[in-house]
Each structure stands twice: as structure tokens, then as C-alpha cells.
Structure 1
Amino acid sequence: MKKIKVLLIEDNRLLRDGTTALLNEQEDIRAVSSPGNKSALTKAKKLVPDVVLLDLGLKSNNSLKVLESIKQQLPLTEVIVMDLIPVHSEVVEFVKAGVAGFVLKDATLDEFLHTIRAVVKGVKTLPPTMTDSLFSEIVEHALQSGQIDEVMSALIMTSREHDVISHIAAGKSNKEIAISLNVAVHTIENHIRNILDKLALHTRLELATLTHIKEVL
């Protein structure tokens, strides 16, 4: 079994050592760690990890600059940012810089591992708790700054949800979408409810407006 190579960049030594030990208990993961100083980039270039776990609040370095350097020098390495309570403006900046996912530091081990395994498969992830009112702020900020495409790419959407959004963007009704996709109308309604939840929107009109503004998908 090919193991997922993980590099954890974290200033707090206790958290760094504890997290690395937990990751190395997994059969499919091999983890090493580094504080957030200049040695982190050196270790990243030497290891060429599949995933970098990056503390958003590094005290020894600027986390955003570290992310940008990693993506520039190791474009195939996926980066997951860790934080307690991400600020929406920071989330947008990190998504724009190429982050593959966010994980909250109070997440469960299962959520943590799911995020790592998901980004390796090319799935960008946001924690469920960021798809509520906080994500509404992120969407608003992204629309104002012209960065909605980057933010939308960080959401987990199924291929069918992508199809539904494309049809909504084209101005089709639920019945027309159902006919196009050869499914029942109530199935389309369920997809739309799931999409609204993920985008922290409330109505189909809000979704149609959002897709019309930026053609997000």
C-alpha cells in the first residue's frame, strides 16, 4: 500500500508531536513535522509530501506566504490549513492561493483523516461548520472582491449537484431540469436543498442570482 506522505507545519511542539503520532498510527499515512520557520520549506522540498498540514496562525512565519511558496515550488502537493475559528477574509485569501482544504483544530480524528484522504483524491473540502452563517459572510466577501470562483471550488459538490446548478444558471425550472436529467422533480428539489445548505443560502432565487453573477461552476 502506497502511504500518503504528510508534512505537518505547526509551531506548538506538543500539538505537533501529538498530531504526528496520531497520523502515524494510520496504515495509509506516513507523517513528519516541522515548526513554521525556514526549515519547513526545506523539509517540504526534500520530502515532496502529498499533503501539507499548515497552521494558519504560525508565529514564526506568515502562513499565507508559506502556502504560496509551497504551491509555487511543489504544485502537486495539496495544502490543508488548520485553525480554530477562521476569519472569512483569511479563508478567501487562502482559497485563492491554492489551499485544498480547511480543518478546524477541534475537529474529530475521523474528520481530520477524512480531509487528508479527500484532498489526495482531488476533492477540496471545507468543514461542515463553515457552511453556515460564516460561509454566508465568505460568499458575500468573495462576491464583492471578485473571488467567488475560488471559494466555490472549495466546496464538496457531487457531479449531479454540478449538473443541477448548471441548469439553474441556464434559467431552467425544476420540472425542466428533471426532464433533462431524467429524474423525478422531488429528486431535483432534494438536490437544490443540499446545494442551498452547502452555500448557506435560503432560496432558489438566491442560488440563481449567485450563479448568474459569476457563473460559478
Structure 2
Amino acid sequence: MDPTPNAAAIPIRVFVVEDQTKILKNQLRLFEGHPDIDIVGTALSGEAALVEVERDQPDVLLLDLGLPRMSGIDVTREVKARFPKVEILIFTIFDEEDKVLEAVKAGASGYLLKGATVDKIVEAIKEVRAGGTVIQPNLARRLLRHFRVEPDTAPVPTEPLPVAPSAAESAPAGEEASAHEPLLKPLSDREREILQLIAKGVSNSEAARLLSLSKATIRTHLEHIYRKLEVTNRVEAVTEGIRKGLISV
């Protein structure tokens, strides 16, 4: 759903989870003087985070993966199960790509490398709060390889698949259902174009700039894509797009 006209004036409620006190203090110091961000709470462990998140109801959770006892991946899975509206942005280091992959599969909306500038962090927070995803291209490619259904495991039928009359009548010219798997509501050319950009790891802001559209329009198109593909996030949308033969990688 698009934000209300005065939504930009409302600070994004952010909760930070980091087990090292010194790093946590440095992170909090970064946000001083940024009126768009409201730090509503912090936690030094995953267990404490679950208790505090329920109380504070943040918009975005900045989460360190390397937590003691309860891992960041487990926290991600639990938070998304209990508080699905909370967006999760992972803080990671260079050698944690496998863990980041697991966190994204568990429901995280993206990740940032520790040491990122405050402007980059704030931009990422705004991106995931608006329904976007913050994933670097190298990890996006790994995600696609992980979720991709190879041709020999998903044979394409030689005969055209039947399309229900209602779907055929409502489909724009050239938008027939894919031979891989029929779509009840085919994606428009613009939706396929946006889905292809998503597969390349492009953010909402970048997609808006490339297509000369507003970010609100991109979000609306994404909502339509998710609904038509019966998914809830970008990773699932790209996976389904590949599986149904709607996009190429």
C-alpha cells in the first residue's frame, strides 16, 4: 500500500540488535541528527530482541547475524512468523554470504556490510520500509542459482497449456500464459520489465529512475506482481518468474 502524503514526515521506527556494546553505541551515534529515523529500542541478544520487538513494534529491525546462542537467522525466522510487518535488514561482514542467504530465505529484506556509511544505511532502511529489497548483485545471483528450477527437473510440455476463458480474455495482446506454467492473471509488459530488473538486484529507487517512473508507481507494480504470482517478497517473485519462464537470468 502506498504511503499517505505526509508519510515522509513520519520517522521510521528502527530497532537495533547488536551483541557488542561498543559497536552498538557507534551505530546509534550514526543516527544522531537524522530526523527520518527514530531508534525505538536496542537489544544485545536475539532472545531479548524478541521480547522488546513485541513491545516496541518497530518498522525495521537492524539485525546482526553473529549473535550468541540464538542466531540472527533464527531471530529473523521468529520475528517474521510473529510480527510479519516488521522488515528486517541484516548487518553482516564479508565472509558471511552463506548466512545472509539463509537469512533472506528466512524472511530478511536485505543486508548491509558493517562499516557502511550512515547515508547508505538510512537509504537502505527507507528502501525496505517502502517494500523494497537491499541485496547486492553478487548475492542476488547466488539466490537465483539456489532457487532456480533447472530445465531437466521441470520439463516443458510440447502442447500449449489450456488457458481459462476469463484469463485469456483479460490478457493483453502478446501476454499469453507461459508454456512453463499457466498464469491466471498474466503479467503486463511493464510488470515483466520490473520483474526482470528485480532479478538483477535493482532497488525500487533505481528501477524508478531507469523507467522514468515514481517509486510509488514501482511499489504498485510490485504489489500487482506479488498478487499475480501469489508470493510475498522479491526473492519469491524472481523464483516464480524464472520457474514460469517469465524472465531470464
* 8 Å CA contact 1:20, 1:33 repeated in 2: no
**2:137 aligns with one of 111, 122, 131:** 131
SS for the counterpart of 1:82 is strand
Structure 2 counterpart SS, 1:49:
coil
Is 1:142 the counterpart of 2:147? The answer is: yes
1:29 matches 2:37: yes
- In structure 1, the residue matched to 2:60 is 51
1:159 alignment counterpart: none
CA distance in 2, matches of 1:22, 1:115: 14
Measured after TM superposition, the shift of residue 216 of structure 1 is: 6.4
More displaced, 37-46 or 85-94?
A: 85-94
Per the alignment, in what secondary structure is the counterpart of residue 103 of structure 1?
strand
Counterpart contact for 2:20–2:44, Cα < 8 Å = yes
The CA deviation at 1:6 is 0.6
Q: Secondary structure at the match of 1:46?
A: helix
> Aligned partners of 1:113, 1:194: CA distance in 2, in Å?
22
Q: Partner of 2:90 in structure 1?
A: 81
Q: Deviations over 1:74-114 (max 9, x none)?
A: 11111111101254443332222211121111322211111
What is the TM-score normalised by the length of structure 1? 0.64
| Alpha-carbon distance between aligned partners in 2 of 1:93 and 1:4, rounded to the nearest angstrom | 26
Alpha-carbon distance in 1 for matches of 2:246, 2:62: 27
- Name which of 28, 50, 54 aligns with 1:41: 50
Measured after TM superposition, the shift of residue 24 of structure 1 is 3.6
Number of aligned residues:
168
TM-score of the aligned structures, taking structure 2 as reference length:
0.56
The 1:35/1:214 distance shift into structure 2, 3 A limit, reads farther
**What CA distance in whole angstroms lies between the structure 1 residues aligned with 2:65 and 2:108?**
11
Q: Is the 1:11–1:60 contact (alpha carbons within 8 Å) kept by the matching residues of 2?
A: no
- State yes or no: 1:66 paired with 2:66: no
3-state secondary structure, aligned to 2:91: strand
Whether the aligned pair in 1 keeps the contact of 2:149 and 2:243 (CA below 8 Å) is no
Identity %: 26
Q: Which residue of 1 aligns with 2:125?
A: 116
Counterpart in 1 of 2:167?
A: none
* Pair 1:137–1:70, CA change in 2 (3 A): closer
Deviations 1:57-78 (A, max 9, x none): 1124211111111112211111
Q: 1:33 & 1:42 partners in 2: Cα distance?
A: 11
Q: Determine which of 10, 14, 37 is the counterpart of 1:6.
A: 14
The ranges of structure 1 where at least 4 consecutive aligned residues each deviate by more than 6 angstroms after the TM superposition are 193-196
Aligned-residue RMSD, C-alpha: 3.5
User: 1:50–1:120: 8 Å Cα contact kept in structure 2?
Assistant: yes
- C-alpha contact (below 8 Å) 1:17/1:33 kept by paired residues: no
Letter in 1 for 2:137: T
Unaligned segments of structure 2, at least 5 residues = 1-8, 151-173, 180-187, 203-239
| Distance (whole Å) between structure 1 residues aligned to residue 82 and residue 178 of structure 2 | 39
Listed one character per residue, the Cα deviations across residues 116-162 of structure 1 (whole Å, up to 9, x for unaligned) are 01111111111xxx313x543332223269xxxxxxxxxxxxxxxxx
Query: What stretches of structure 1 of length at least 5 have no aligned partner?
Result: 146-165, 172-179, 183-187, 200-209
Whole-Å Cα distance in 1 between the matches of residues 199 and 95 of structure 2? Answer: 21
- Per residue, is there more helix in 1 or in 2? 1
Contact 1:89 1:141 in 2 (8 A): no
1:70 aligned counterpart, secondary structure: helix
